[in-house]
Structure 1
Amino acid sequence: MINSLLPNNIACEFLNESTSNLFVHEAEVKSIQHASKKRVTEFLNARHCAHKALIKIGYTQNAAILQGTKGEPLWPKSIIGSITHCKGYYAAVVSFNKFIVGIGIDAELNMDISQKLILTTQTENEIFTNTKISNKSPNFFLNKLVFSAKESVFKFLFPIVKRYIKFKEIEINLNINKKTFSVILLNSDISNDFDVTLMIGKFDYDDNHIVTCCYQQQIN
Protein backbone atom coordinates (compact mmCIF):
# COMPACT_ATOMS: atom_id res chain seq x y z
CA MET A 1 0.00 0.00 0.00
CA ILE A 2 2.77 2.46 0.83
CA ASN A 3 4.06 2.34 -2.74
CA SER A 4 0.79 3.87 -3.99
CA LEU A 5 1.31 6.94 -1.78
CA LEU A 6 4.71 7.95 -3.17
CA PRO A 7 5.95 10.14 -6.04
CA ASN A 8 8.04 8.61 -8.81
CA ASN A 9 11.39 9.69 -7.36
CA ILE A 10 10.90 7.58 -4.21
CA ALA A 11 11.21 3.81 -4.57
CA CYS A 12 9.41 1.28 -2.39
CA GLU A 13 9.79 -2.43 -1.79
CA PHE A 14 7.50 -4.45 0.48
CA LEU A 15 6.72 -7.98 1.60
CA ASN A 16 3.43 -9.31 2.91
CA GLU A 17 5.19 -12.21 4.59
CA SER A 18 8.75 -13.04 5.58
CA THR A 19 11.04 -14.58 2.98
CA SER A 20 13.79 -17.17 3.37
CA ASN A 21 15.49 -15.86 0.22
CA LEU A 22 16.94 -12.82 1.94
CA PHE A 23 18.97 -10.23 0.07
CA VAL A 24 20.94 -8.71 2.95
CA HIS A 25 24.50 -7.76 3.89
CA GLU A 26 26.68 -10.05 6.02
CA ALA A 27 27.31 -7.19 8.46
CA GLU A 28 23.56 -6.78 8.97
CA VAL A 29 23.17 -10.45 9.87
CA LYS A 30 26.08 -10.22 12.30
CA SER A 31 24.73 -7.06 13.94
CA ILE A 32 21.46 -8.74 14.91
CA GLN A 33 22.68 -12.28 15.69
CA HIS A 34 22.06 -12.05 19.45
CA ALA A 35 18.51 -10.71 19.16
CA SER A 36 15.32 -12.75 19.51
CA LYS A 37 14.09 -14.78 16.55
CA LYS A 38 11.18 -12.34 16.07
CA ARG A 39 13.51 -9.34 16.03
CA VAL A 40 15.91 -11.04 13.60
CA THR A 41 13.03 -11.81 11.22
CA GLU A 42 11.75 -8.23 11.36
CA PHE A 43 15.17 -6.67 10.95
CA LEU A 44 16.40 -8.82 8.07
CA ASN A 45 13.17 -8.79 6.08
CA ALA A 46 13.02 -5.00 6.36
CA ARG A 47 16.69 -4.76 5.29
CA HIS A 48 15.90 -7.06 2.38
CA CYS A 49 13.24 -4.57 1.28
CA ALA A 50 15.67 -1.68 1.70
CA HIS A 51 18.30 -3.26 -0.57
CA LYS A 52 15.69 -4.12 -3.19
CA ALA A 53 14.43 -0.53 -3.11
CA LEU A 54 17.98 0.80 -3.51
CA ILE A 55 18.38 -1.25 -6.67
CA LYS A 56 15.20 0.33 -8.03
CA ILE A 57 16.76 3.82 -7.85
CA GLY A 58 20.00 2.61 -9.43
CA TYR A 59 22.09 2.36 -6.27
CA THR A 60 24.18 -0.80 -6.69
CA GLN A 61 26.94 -0.44 -4.09
CA ASN A 62 27.01 -3.30 -1.59
CA ALA A 63 26.60 -1.16 1.53
CA ALA A 64 25.30 -2.46 4.85
CA ILE A 65 22.39 -0.61 6.46
CA LEU A 66 23.23 -0.84 10.14
CA GLN A 67 21.60 0.81 13.17
CA GLY A 68 22.38 4.04 14.95
CA THR A 69 22.36 4.48 18.72
CA LYS A 70 18.59 5.01 18.74
CA GLY A 71 17.85 2.09 16.43
CA GLU A 72 17.54 4.27 13.34
CA PRO A 73 18.78 2.88 9.99
CA LEU A 74 22.11 4.30 8.87
CA TRP A 75 21.75 4.90 5.15
CA PRO A 76 24.60 5.15 2.66
CA LYS A 77 25.85 8.61 1.76
CA SER A 78 23.45 10.49 -0.57
CA ILE A 79 20.54 8.18 0.36
CA ILE A 80 17.47 9.10 2.40
CA GLY A 81 15.11 6.33 3.41
CA SER A 82 12.76 4.83 5.95
CA ILE A 83 11.85 1.34 7.11
CA THR A 84 8.79 -0.16 8.78
CA HIS A 85 7.52 -3.56 9.79
CA CYS A 86 4.62 -5.11 11.64
CA LYS A 87 2.90 -8.48 11.55
CA GLY A 88 2.30 -9.38 7.91
CA TYR A 89 4.01 -6.34 6.40
CA TYR A 90 7.60 -5.21 5.83
CA ALA A 91 8.51 -2.17 3.74
CA ALA A 92 11.30 0.24 2.91
CA VAL A 93 11.42 3.43 0.86
CA VAL A 94 14.50 5.21 -0.50
CA SER A 95 15.53 8.12 -2.66
CA PHE A 96 18.57 10.29 -3.31
CA ASN A 97 19.00 13.40 -1.16
CA LYS A 98 19.04 15.53 -4.31
CA PHE A 99 15.34 14.68 -4.71
CA ILE A 100 13.91 14.72 -1.18
CA VAL A 101 14.57 16.44 2.15
CA GLY A 102 13.30 13.53 4.19
CA ILE A 103 10.80 10.70 4.46
CA GLY A 104 9.18 8.58 7.13
CA ILE A 105 6.87 5.58 6.77
CA ASP A 106 4.95 3.42 9.21
CA ALA A 107 2.72 0.35 9.08
CA GLU A 108 0.45 -0.78 11.90
CA LEU A 109 -2.15 -3.47 12.42
CA ASN A 110 -5.64 -2.10 11.82
CA MET A 111 -6.77 -2.37 15.42
CA ASP A 112 -7.46 0.05 18.24
CA ILE A 113 -4.98 1.28 20.85
CA SER A 114 -5.50 1.60 24.58
CA GLN A 115 -6.97 4.67 26.22
CA LYS A 116 -3.71 5.05 28.14
CA LEU A 117 -1.72 5.22 24.90
CA ILE A 118 -4.18 7.74 23.46
CA LEU A 119 -3.74 10.00 26.49
CA THR A 120 0.06 9.77 26.41
CA THR A 121 0.50 10.33 22.66
CA GLN A 122 -2.31 12.67 21.56
CA THR A 123 -2.81 16.35 22.31
CA GLU A 124 -6.06 17.60 23.84
CA ASN A 125 -6.99 19.10 20.49
CA GLU A 126 -6.44 15.77 18.71
CA ILE A 127 -8.52 13.86 21.25
CA PHE A 128 -11.37 16.37 20.91
CA THR A 129 -11.26 16.37 17.09
CA ASN A 130 -10.85 12.62 16.70
CA THR A 131 -13.74 11.88 19.04
CA LYS A 132 -16.03 13.89 16.76
CA ILE A 133 -15.03 12.12 13.56
CA SER A 134 -14.37 8.57 14.83
CA ASN A 135 -17.95 7.43 14.24
CA LYS A 136 -17.60 8.41 10.58
CA SER A 137 -14.55 6.17 10.04
CA PRO A 138 -15.86 2.59 10.26
CA ASN A 139 -13.17 0.95 8.12
CA PHE A 140 -10.14 1.76 10.25
CA PHE A 141 -9.25 2.67 13.80
CA LEU A 142 -8.74 6.42 13.91
CA ASN A 143 -6.48 6.51 16.96
CA LYS A 144 -4.15 3.94 15.42
CA LEU A 145 -4.02 6.09 12.28
CA VAL A 146 -2.97 9.15 14.30
CA PHE A 147 -0.36 7.06 16.11
CA SER A 148 1.01 5.78 12.80
CA ALA A 149 1.13 9.27 11.29
CA LYS A 150 3.16 10.47 14.28
CA GLU A 151 5.55 7.55 13.81
CA SER A 152 6.08 8.59 10.20
CA VAL A 153 6.68 12.22 11.16
CA PHE A 154 9.12 11.14 13.88
CA LYS A 155 11.07 9.01 11.38
CA PHE A 156 11.12 11.93 8.95
CA LEU A 157 12.38 14.43 11.53
CA PHE A 158 14.81 12.42 13.63
CA PRO A 159 17.67 12.30 11.07
CA ILE A 160 17.25 16.05 10.54
CA VAL A 161 16.86 17.43 14.08
CA LYS A 162 18.89 14.59 15.68
CA ARG A 163 16.94 14.42 18.89
CA TYR A 164 14.07 12.42 20.34
CA ILE A 165 10.69 14.00 19.60
CA LYS A 166 7.76 13.29 21.88
CA PHE A 167 4.50 12.40 20.18
CA LYS A 168 2.73 15.23 22.01
CA GLU A 169 5.09 17.65 20.24
CA ILE A 170 3.48 16.52 16.97
CA GLU A 171 -0.13 17.36 16.14
CA ILE A 172 -1.83 15.60 13.24
CA ASN A 173 -4.70 17.10 11.27
CA LEU A 174 -6.45 14.46 9.17
CA ASN A 175 -8.34 14.84 5.93
CA ILE A 176 -10.27 11.58 5.92
CA ASN A 177 -11.78 11.99 2.46
CA LYS A 178 -8.47 12.73 0.73
CA LYS A 179 -6.48 10.29 2.90
CA THR A 180 -3.96 12.98 3.74
CA PHE A 181 -2.71 14.68 6.88
CA SER A 182 -0.90 17.87 7.79
CA VAL A 183 1.45 18.43 10.70
CA ILE A 184 1.85 21.05 13.42
CA LEU A 185 5.04 21.00 15.51
CA LEU A 186 4.32 22.32 18.98
CA ASN A 187 7.97 22.70 20.02
CA SER A 188 9.36 26.03 18.82
CA ASP A 189 12.92 24.66 18.78
CA ILE A 190 11.92 22.52 15.81
CA SER A 191 9.18 24.58 14.17
CA ASN A 192 11.36 27.71 13.95
CA ASP A 193 13.94 25.85 11.88
CA PHE A 194 11.68 23.64 9.80
CA ASP A 195 8.73 24.49 7.55
CA VAL A 196 6.23 21.71 8.14
CA THR A 197 3.84 23.16 5.57
CA LEU A 198 6.11 21.63 2.92
CA MET A 199 5.71 18.14 4.37
CA ILE A 200 3.26 15.86 2.54
CA GLY A 201 1.39 13.34 4.67
CA LYS A 202 -0.66 10.48 3.21
CA PHE A 203 -2.30 7.32 4.49
CA ASP A 204 -4.13 4.22 3.34
CA TYR A 205 -5.59 1.11 4.93
CA ASP A 206 -7.12 -2.28 4.31
CA ASP A 207 -8.75 -4.82 6.59
CA ASN A 208 -5.42 -5.78 8.15
CA HIS A 209 -3.13 -2.75 8.11
CA ILE A 210 -2.90 1.01 8.31
CA VAL A 211 0.03 2.66 6.51
CA THR A 212 1.24 6.25 6.61
CA CYS A 213 4.01 8.21 4.96
CA CYS A 214 5.40 11.71 5.31
CA TYR A 215 7.88 13.20 2.85
CA GLN A 216 9.18 16.49 1.49
CA GLN A 217 10.56 17.14 -1.97
CA GLN A 218 13.64 19.26 -2.56
CA ILE A 219 12.88 22.69 -4.00
CA ASN A 220 15.01 23.27 -7.09
Structure 2
Amino acid sequence: MIQQILPPAVAVADTTADLLDSPVFPEEEPYLADSVEHRRREFVTTRRCARTAMTALGVPPAAVGSGPKGEPEWPAGVTGSMTHCDGYRAAALSHSREFHSIGIDAERHEPLPDELVTYITGPDERAHLRELERGHPAVHWATVLFSAKETVYKAWYPLARRWLGFRDARLTFDPDAGTYTARLLVPGPVVDGVRVAWFTGHWAVRDGLVLTAIAVRRAR
Protein backbone atom coordinates (compact mmCIF):
# COMPACT_ATOMS: atom_id res chain seq x y z
CA MET A 1 0.00 0.00 0.00
CA ILE A 2 2.63 2.52 1.04
CA GLN A 3 4.54 2.06 -2.25
CA GLN A 4 1.93 4.27 -3.91
CA ILE A 5 3.18 7.36 -2.05
CA LEU A 6 6.91 6.69 -2.54
CA PRO A 7 9.17 7.16 -5.58
CA PRO A 8 9.60 4.13 -7.88
CA ALA A 9 13.29 3.84 -6.95
CA VAL A 10 12.31 2.92 -3.38
CA ALA A 11 11.79 -0.80 -2.77
CA VAL A 12 8.84 -1.55 -0.50
CA ALA A 13 7.65 -4.74 1.17
CA ASP A 14 4.55 -4.77 3.35
CA THR A 15 2.09 -7.19 4.88
CA THR A 16 -1.15 -7.22 6.82
CA ALA A 17 -0.24 -10.48 8.58
CA ASP A 18 2.59 -11.35 10.92
CA LEU A 19 5.25 -13.59 9.36
CA LEU A 20 6.37 -15.52 12.40
CA ASP A 21 8.21 -18.20 10.45
CA SER A 22 10.77 -15.60 9.38
CA PRO A 23 14.31 -16.28 10.64
CA VAL A 24 15.94 -13.89 13.09
CA PHE A 25 19.61 -13.20 12.47
CA PRO A 26 21.95 -13.92 15.41
CA GLU A 27 22.91 -10.23 15.59
CA GLU A 28 19.22 -9.36 16.12
CA GLU A 29 18.53 -11.78 18.98
CA PRO A 30 19.78 -9.41 21.73
CA TYR A 31 17.09 -6.89 20.76
CA LEU A 32 14.43 -9.50 21.47
CA ALA A 33 15.64 -10.50 24.92
CA ASP A 34 12.69 -10.40 27.34
CA SER A 35 10.41 -9.04 24.59
CA VAL A 36 6.67 -9.51 24.98
CA GLU A 37 4.88 -11.43 22.24
CA HIS A 38 3.49 -8.47 20.29
CA ARG A 39 6.92 -6.80 20.24
CA ARG A 40 8.49 -9.96 18.83
CA ARG A 41 5.79 -10.13 16.14
CA GLU A 42 6.48 -6.53 15.10
CA PHE A 43 10.25 -7.00 15.10
CA VAL A 44 10.32 -10.27 13.17
CA THR A 45 7.77 -9.19 10.56
CA THR A 46 9.21 -5.76 9.84
CA ARG A 47 12.67 -7.24 9.40
CA ARG A 48 11.26 -9.85 7.05
CA CYS A 49 9.82 -6.95 5.05
CA ALA A 50 13.20 -5.18 5.16
CA ARG A 51 15.04 -8.23 3.83
CA THR A 52 12.47 -8.66 1.07
CA ALA A 53 13.12 -5.04 0.07
CA MET A 54 16.89 -5.64 0.20
CA THR A 55 16.49 -8.52 -2.24
CA ALA A 56 14.48 -6.25 -4.56
CA LEU A 57 17.39 -3.79 -4.48
CA GLY A 58 19.90 -6.54 -5.26
CA VAL A 59 21.37 -6.33 -1.77
CA PRO A 60 22.11 -9.56 0.17
CA PRO A 61 19.66 -9.95 3.09
CA ALA A 62 21.32 -8.72 6.28
CA ALA A 63 20.65 -8.18 9.95
CA VAL A 64 18.93 -4.94 10.95
CA GLY A 65 19.89 -3.80 14.42
CA SER A 66 18.71 -0.75 16.36
CA GLY A 67 20.72 2.36 17.17
CA PRO A 68 20.68 4.42 20.39
CA LYS A 69 17.42 6.16 19.44
CA GLY A 70 15.79 3.00 18.14
CA GLU A 71 16.68 3.85 14.54
CA PRO A 72 17.30 0.94 12.14
CA GLU A 73 20.95 0.15 11.44
CA TRP A 74 21.06 -0.62 7.74
CA PRO A 75 23.83 -2.43 5.84
CA ALA A 76 26.35 -0.25 4.03
CA GLY A 77 24.96 1.44 0.94
CA VAL A 78 21.34 1.24 2.05
CA THR A 79 18.96 3.70 3.69
CA GLY A 80 15.39 3.13 4.68
CA SER A 81 12.60 3.07 7.21
CA MET A 82 10.22 0.62 8.84
CA THR A 83 6.78 0.98 10.40
CA HIS A 84 4.20 -1.14 12.13
CA CYS A 85 0.72 -0.69 13.53
CA ASP A 86 -2.18 -2.99 14.25
CA GLY A 87 -2.74 -4.98 11.05
CA TYR A 88 0.09 -3.53 8.97
CA ARG A 89 3.90 -3.83 8.75
CA ALA A 90 6.16 -2.29 6.11
CA ALA A 91 9.74 -1.48 5.16
CA ALA A 92 10.93 0.96 2.48
CA LEU A 93 14.57 0.91 1.34
CA SER A 94 16.74 2.47 -1.32
CA HIS A 95 20.37 2.64 -2.30
CA SER A 96 21.97 5.48 -0.34
CA ARG A 97 23.43 6.78 -3.61
CA GLU A 98 19.83 7.62 -4.60
CA PHE A 99 18.37 8.95 -1.34
CA HIS A 100 19.84 10.47 1.81
CA SER A 101 17.02 9.21 4.00
CA ILE A 102 13.52 7.76 3.90
CA GLY A 103 10.75 7.98 6.48
CA ILE A 104 7.52 6.01 6.49
CA ASP A 105 4.75 5.63 9.06
CA ALA A 106 1.40 3.86 9.31
CA GLU A 107 -1.35 4.37 11.88
CA ARG A 108 -4.89 3.12 12.25
CA HIS A 109 -7.30 5.71 10.82
CA GLU A 110 -8.94 6.49 14.15
CA PRO A 111 -9.39 9.68 16.20
CA LEU A 112 -6.43 10.88 18.24
CA PRO A 113 -7.01 11.71 21.95
CA ASP A 114 -7.42 15.45 22.53
CA GLU A 115 -4.59 15.57 25.05
CA LEU A 116 -2.19 14.02 22.53
CA VAL A 117 -3.26 16.50 19.85
CA THR A 118 -2.45 19.36 22.25
CA TYR A 119 0.93 17.81 23.09
CA ILE A 120 2.14 17.38 19.48
CA THR A 121 0.82 20.61 17.91
CA GLY A 122 1.18 24.35 18.16
CA PRO A 123 -1.76 26.78 18.05
CA ASP A 124 -1.34 27.46 14.31
CA GLU A 125 -1.38 23.72 13.55
CA ARG A 126 -4.56 23.25 15.58
CA ALA A 127 -6.17 26.05 13.56
CA HIS A 128 -5.03 24.32 10.36
CA LEU A 129 -6.55 21.04 11.57
CA ARG A 130 -9.89 22.74 12.23
CA GLU A 131 -9.83 24.16 8.69
CA LEU A 132 -9.06 20.76 7.21
CA GLU A 133 -11.82 19.12 9.26
CA ARG A 134 -14.40 21.60 7.96
CA GLY A 135 -13.48 20.89 4.35
CA HIS A 136 -12.83 17.13 4.63
CA PRO A 137 -14.66 15.80 7.68
CA ALA A 138 -14.24 12.11 6.76
CA VAL A 139 -10.49 12.27 7.49
CA HIS A 140 -9.08 12.10 11.03
CA TRP A 141 -6.65 14.93 10.36
CA ALA A 142 -4.97 14.90 13.76
CA THR A 143 -3.98 11.28 13.17
CA VAL A 144 -2.64 12.17 9.72
CA LEU A 145 -0.60 14.96 11.31
CA PHE A 146 0.72 12.63 14.04
CA SER A 147 1.78 10.07 11.43
CA ALA A 148 3.40 12.75 9.28
CA LYS A 149 5.40 14.05 12.25
CA GLU A 150 6.63 10.52 12.93
CA THR A 151 7.75 10.36 9.31
CA VAL A 152 9.49 13.73 9.55
CA TYR A 153 11.53 12.48 12.50
CA LYS A 154 12.46 9.27 10.69
CA ALA A 155 13.67 11.28 7.68
CA TRP A 156 15.42 13.85 9.89
CA TYR A 157 17.39 11.62 12.24
CA PRO A 158 19.78 9.97 9.73
CA LEU A 159 20.68 13.46 8.49
CA ALA A 160 20.98 15.32 11.79
CA ARG A 161 21.71 12.51 14.30
CA ARG A 162 19.86 14.43 16.99
CA TRP A 163 16.38 14.62 18.47
CA LEU A 164 13.53 16.50 16.79
CA GLY A 165 10.51 17.21 18.97
CA PHE A 166 6.90 17.12 17.83
CA ARG A 167 6.70 20.92 18.02
CA ASP A 168 10.02 21.48 16.22
CA ALA A 169 8.33 21.32 12.82
CA ARG A 170 5.17 23.06 11.63
CA LEU A 171 3.10 20.94 9.21
CA THR A 172 0.61 22.00 6.57
CA PHE A 173 -1.38 19.67 4.32
CA ASP A 174 -2.75 19.84 0.80
CA PRO A 175 -5.87 17.66 1.07
CA ASP A 176 -6.37 17.44 -2.69
CA ALA A 177 -2.79 16.67 -3.77
CA GLY A 178 -2.11 14.24 -0.91
CA THR A 179 1.05 16.12 0.07
CA TYR A 180 2.35 17.95 3.12
CA THR A 181 5.15 20.32 4.03
CA ALA A 182 7.06 20.31 7.31
CA ARG A 183 8.77 23.62 8.01
CA LEU A 184 11.57 23.17 10.53
CA LEU A 185 11.50 25.54 13.51
CA VAL A 186 15.03 24.56 14.57
CA PRO A 187 18.26 24.67 12.52
CA GLY A 188 18.29 21.78 10.07
CA PRO A 189 21.21 19.63 8.94
CA VAL A 190 23.32 20.57 5.92
CA VAL A 191 22.55 18.22 3.01
CA ASP A 192 24.28 18.51 -0.38
CA GLY A 193 25.76 21.81 0.80
CA VAL A 194 22.39 23.35 1.70
CA ARG A 195 20.82 23.68 5.14
CA VAL A 196 17.53 21.84 5.23
CA ALA A 197 14.63 24.15 6.15
CA TRP A 198 11.71 21.88 5.34
CA PHE A 199 10.65 18.43 4.23
CA THR A 200 7.92 17.55 1.77
CA GLY A 201 6.00 14.31 1.91
CA HIS A 202 2.94 12.41 0.78
CA TRP A 203 0.01 11.01 2.73
CA ALA A 204 -2.94 8.74 2.03
CA VAL A 205 -5.87 7.19 3.87
CA ARG A 206 -6.95 3.77 2.65
CA ASP A 207 -8.20 0.46 4.01
CA GLY A 208 -8.51 1.85 7.52
CA LEU A 209 -4.92 3.13 7.61
CA VAL A 210 -3.14 6.46 7.55
CA LEU A 211 0.06 6.22 5.51
CA THR A 212 2.76 8.91 5.32
CA ALA A 213 6.13 8.99 3.57
CA ILE A 214 9.14 11.23 2.91
CA ALA A 215 12.08 10.44 0.62
CA VAL A 216 15.04 12.84 0.65
CA ARG A 217 16.64 12.46 -2.78
CA ARG A 218 20.32 13.13 -3.35
CA ALA A 219 21.25 16.02 -5.60
CA ARG A 220 22.15 14.97 -9.15
Q: Report the TM-score, using the length of structure 1 for normalisation.
A: 0.93
Paired position in structure 2 for 1:14: 14
Alpha-carbon spacing, 1:23–1:176, altered in 2? closer, same or farther (3 Å): farther
Q: Distance in 1 between matches of 2:189 and 2:43?
A: 32
Paired position in structure 1 for 2:145: 146
Paired position in structure 2 for 1:214: 214
Q: Give 3-state SS (helix, strand or coil) of 1:182's partner.
A: strand
Paired position in structure 2 for 1:184: 183
Q: CA deviation at 1:39?
A: 0.6
| Count of residues in correspondence between the two structures | 217
Alpha-carbon spacing, 1:206–1:166, altered in 2? closer, same or farther (3 Å): same
Gaps of 5+ in 2: none
Alpha-carbon spacing, 1:43–1:194, altered in 2? closer, same or farther (3 Å): farther
Q: CA deviation at 1:207?
A: 4.1
Matched, 1:93 2:130: no
1:150-209 deviation line (CA, Å, top 9, x unaligned): 00000000111111110100111100001000110011x227763245x43001112411
Amino acid at match of 1:144: T
Q: Give 3-state SS (helix, strand or coil) of 2:216's partner.
A: strand
Gaps of 5+ in 1: none
Paired position in structure 1 for 2:127: 128
Give RMSD over aligned pairs. 1.6
Paired position in structure 2 for 1:204: 204
Paired position in structure 2 for 1:195: 196
Paired position in structure 1 for 2:169: 170
Q: Give 3-state SS (helix, strand or coil) of 1:135's partner.
A: helix
Q: Percent identity?
A: 27
Q: Give 3-state SS (helix, strand or coil) of 2:203's partner.
A: strand
Paired position in structure 1 for 2:117: 118
Q: Give 3-state SS (helix, strand or coil) of 1:190's partner.
A: coil
Alpha-carbon spacing, 1:23–1:178, altered in 2? closer, same or farther (3 Å): farther
Q: Distance in 1 between matches of 2:165 and 2:30?
A: 31
Contact 2:12 2:92 in 1 (8 A): yes
Amino acid at match of 1:209: L
Q: CA deviation at 1:136?
A: 2.3
1:26-46 deviation line (CA, Å, top 9, x unaligned): 322343131111111111111
Contact 1:185 1:191 in 2 (8 A): no
Q: Report the TM-score, using the length of structure 2 for normalisation.
A: 0.93
